Structure 1
Amino acid sequence: MTVCLDLNDHKRTFPQSNKDKMLSILALLLLAFWSPTAHTVSLGRFPVSITSAQLNDIARLDPFAPKPQHRTFMVSIFELVEHDCKAISSPYMPPLTAAYEDAKFSAYGVPEGTFPDLTIKVCQPTTKPLSNQRTNKVVLFSGALGTSRYLYSALIATVASRGYTIIAVDHPYDTDIVEFPSGKTIIGLNLTDEQIPLAVETRARDLSFVLDHLSRTTKSCPGRPIQAVAFSHSLGGAAAIAALRDPRILGALNLDGSVFGPAVNASTNKPVLLFGHDGKNRTTDPTWGELWPHLSGWKAEVELVGSAHYSFSDWPVIADEVFGGVENLPAEAAELIGKIGGERMTEILGSYVTAFLTLSFGGKIDGLLKGESKRFPEVLFLE
């Protein structure tokens, strides 16, 4: 199953931003942390391919860029490989991103050299598909403020392996680092509270542009309009709610994200699932309480006991592989990642996200979405 996406965009080049003391620092970090003989750690094996592409929206200026320039961002496309494939070990992150994340998370007790050593096993197709059938249904993913799309790769690959084409977006200037194929990097800004609604709106427009781009490049499936569902984390969850105004986006799964800006009062009859960490609900997050009455379609609010904000990322899996389990995390990191291990988090999120996608694309309502489950007692249904 292949989405009709023109990947030639990765060949485009764009003007360099101020060259950067930061780029020089990153290069030094890379030399310090990486060596070709380093011991690698795999975060799992998945029957999916992962391709990166650079997209350029020439109709829109980037509201956060220091000088006028078109909105340009990076995406990763995760696709199930349905036929023979060659298993390959791929770097979890590109080198400059890995070096940056090493420096960033060392403050939380994560050992230096962790990210350059991480790999993920994926598929490289060895035969051509048996048909040219393309899908007009895609899933969009947007991560937390200041968090690279790469920190969700194992989670996204888990869902993609269940039959979905997923496009994960890095949003420049509110993602901590965005690395382009040319070697250019954009380092995230320290956004003020007043700028957050603009960041949400910009992300929502990024998600819609991905669908615009797909519609233009869908040569093999004419007459089949693109449809999408968004599942996203934190600020990305807010963007998913905001993006519901796009008629092509059929539903939104908000993983632990407060809602900012006009979206909190936007009415929709599309499916919405609010999936909060331990203690996050409409009582403790007023934005969820404000949003709730405006949701007139299928909706549910659940809370995951034992989880924390970054349980909804690859951090529990990384903790399992690097620290031997979340129980061995440094104290600074433990409160951000929670008490649920990577294997269990993958099982929980893979199951609930898949159930929600099935519902939103017009399928039957899975029993997991009807109430609490003996299989997943950690998931509390609040509504």
Structure 2
Amino acid sequence: MPSSRTAAGIAATALATLLVTLPPAAARAAETRPPVQLTLPAPTGPHPLGTVSLHLVDRSRPDPLAGGHTPRELMVTLTYPARTTAGHPVAPWIEPKAGREYLREQGLSAGAVLLPLTHGHEGAPADRRLGRLPVVLYSPGNDTPRSINTMVVEELASRGYVVGTLGHTFDGVVQFPGGRVVASAPDGPATGPLIAEQRIADTRFVLDRLTELNRGGNPDAERRRLPAGLRGLLDLGRVGMFGHSAGGATVASAMFEDPRIKAGLSLDGPVAGPVVTAGLDRPYMLMEATKARPENLPDLATFWSRLRGWKLAVRAEGAEHASYTDLEVIIAQAAPALDLSAAQVAEQIGTLAPARAVAIQRAYPLAFFDRHLRRKGHLLDRPSRRFPEVTFRP
């Protein structure tokens, strides 16, 4: 697989980090004003949300990104329908120390903006009344935290999915129990291929650990207490996966390696590696913005021609690469305080109105997983008058 940081299809992931393309003057402006409290819109489904973060250690896999002397470790957050949320605190969008590192990477102080809270409640008991629930995994883009698509994650969970977000260590800031923070690995000619390989292996490992959890085990490295009701809740015969940017490439490659993943969705992501010519025989959907278009990426065009199962590509007019992430609302909220012009905002998140972009990035992933993991829904049958911005490509 080519370097995930240098290949043409993945190099455009700079927009997948908060404010990374802002001019220095905008960052300086943030230092002299009261911080802006960023927020995320509430999910629209009927179920309240619980969350739990797991510290997973793969002792069979030395981590080459850590020098090959320590086992691979990663953080995973599960978001699920909760029976009750009373007495359980709201989870932050990103852990405090990781959040400070994340802002530092963008050239902002810890007080420049106040990062949002989620709508999930830490440790809340799972709602067993819903029966066994389908599972969806999420892989973020290069150098981004696993929380970058919280709006989509929460929408799915509020409608009856268990969603696991993967923090690929050394590819986006990760905070481990006890407060230890690991930042992204420095760029280099060997970094990209190693990260791509670890992302695929991470996905397979997480599915193994979720199997353990579903049987009543506790895969957390510190054996921290798990929320009530998780045992037997996951229907691991109905597993889907989605990812943004480089996470989209992870989806395709992980599906190629692991048949447990029944359906895959890429949010403006490329493809690379053996899956390009091998294709897939399971459902696959691409939500295009400005980067992952087959006419621009020969590997993606080849891959698309080799798909043998259900497939669909949709394109949202006016969407930018970051429009399919939480940055769609975060950048819009931060823009006034950072003195961003309309042109600078459009460069980041496109010209599609944020409310419409949020509606699209929630509705279409939900429709995809509903169709292929629950066998219901009609939104993907044809273009919809509810979403005139969205066009279908064969």
Among 259, 269, 291, the residue aligned to 2:281? 269
TM-superposition CA deviations, 1:185-225 (whole Å, max 9, x none): 22212344664344223212111111101112222439965
Paired residues for 1:65-144 under 5 Å: 65-83=66-84, 85=86, 88-106=89-107, 113-123=111-121, 131=128, 135=132, 137-144=134-141
Amino acid at match of 1:199: I
The DSSP-based 3-state class of the residue aligned with 2:263 is: strand
Q: Residue 357 of structure 1: CA displacement? A: 0.5
Cα distance in 2 for residues equivalent to 1:42 and 1:135: 31
Amino acid at match of 1:247: P
Q: Residue 170 of structure 1: CA displacement? A: 0.8
Amino acid at match of 2:209: H
Cα distance in 1 for residues equivalent to 2:313 and 2:234: 36
Paired residues for 1:1-383 under 5 Å: 40-46=37-43, 47-83=48-84, 85=86, 88-106=89-107, 113-123=111-121, 131=128, 135=132, 137-175=134-172, 177-192=173-188, 195-219=191-215, 220-221=231-232, 225-245=236-256, 246-278=258-290, 280-323=292-335, 334-364=346-376, 366-383=377-394
Q: Residue 64 of structure 1: CA displacement? A: 1.4
Contact 2:51/2:91 (<8 A) preserved? no
Contact 2:83/2:128 (<8 A) preserved? no
Cα distance in 2 for residues equivalent to 1:381 and 1:158: 23
The DSSP-based 3-state class of the residue aligned with 2:388 is: coil
The DSSP-based 3-state class of the residue aligned with 1:241 is: helix
Q: What is aligned with 1:6?
A: none
Contact 2:323/2:349 (<8 A) preserved? yes
RCO higher in structure (CA 8 A, sep ≥6): 2
Cα distance in 1 for residues equivalent to 2:335 and 2:109: 10
Cα distance in 2 for residues equivalent to 1:217 and 1:200: 26
- Range with greater deviation from structure 2 (253-262 or 130-139): 130-139
Q: Residue 248 of structure 1: CA displacement? A: 1.0
Cα distance in 1 for residues equivalent to 2:352 and 2:140: 20
Evaluate the alpha carbon distance shift between residue 227 and residue 114 of structure 1 in structure 2; reply closer, same or farther with a 3 A threshold: farther
Cα distance in 2 for residues equivalent to 1:92 and 1:139: 19
Evaluate the alpha carbon distance shift between residue 279 and residue 240 of structure 1 in structure 2; reply closer, same or farther with a 3 A threshold: closer
Evaluate the alpha carbon distance shift between residue 65 and residue 378 of structure 1 in structure 2; reply closer, same or farther with a 3 A threshold: same
Contact 1:317/1:341 (<8 A) preserved? no
Amino acid at match of 2:315: E
The DSSP-based 3-state class of the residue aligned with 1:244 is: helix
Q: What is aligned with 2:17?
A: none
Contact 1:92/1:115 (<8 A) preserved? no
Cα distance in 1 for residues equivalent to 2:235 and 2:365: 24
Evaluate the alpha carbon distance shift between residue 369 and residue 129 of structure 1 in structure 2; reply closer, same or farther with a 3 A threshold: closer
Amino acid at match of 2:289: H
- Range with greater deviation from structure 2 (96-105 or 203-212): 96-105
Q: Name the TM-score, length of structure 2 as normaliser.
A: 0.77
Unaligned runs of 5+ in 2: 1-30, 216-230
> Could you say which structure has the higher helix fraction?
1
Q: Residue 360 of structure 1: CA displacement? A: 2.1
Q: What is aligned with 1:16?
A: none
The DSSP-based 3-state class of the residue aligned with 1:174 is: coil
TM-superposition CA deviations, 1:323-358 (whole Å, max 9, x none): 369995675554132223432222111110011101
Cα distance in 2 for residues equivalent to 1:308 and 1:285: 17
Report how many aligned residue pairs link the two structures.
Answer: 343
Evaluate the alpha carbon distance shift between residue 224 and residue 255 of structure 1 in structure 2; reply closer, same or farther with a 3 A threshold: closer
Identity over aligned pairs, percent: 28
Unaligned runs of 5+ in 1: 1-32
Q: Residue 174 of structure 1: CA displacement? A: 2.0
Amino acid at match of 1:71: R
Cα distance in 2 for residues equivalent to 1:327 and 1:379: 31
Q: Name the TM-score, length of structure 1 as normaliser.
A: 0.79
Evaluate the alpha carbon distance shift between residue 194 and residue 294 of structure 1 in structure 2; reply closer, same or farther with a 3 A threshold: farther
TM-superposition CA deviations, 1:228-261 (whole Å, max 9, x none): 1001111111010011131210011011111122
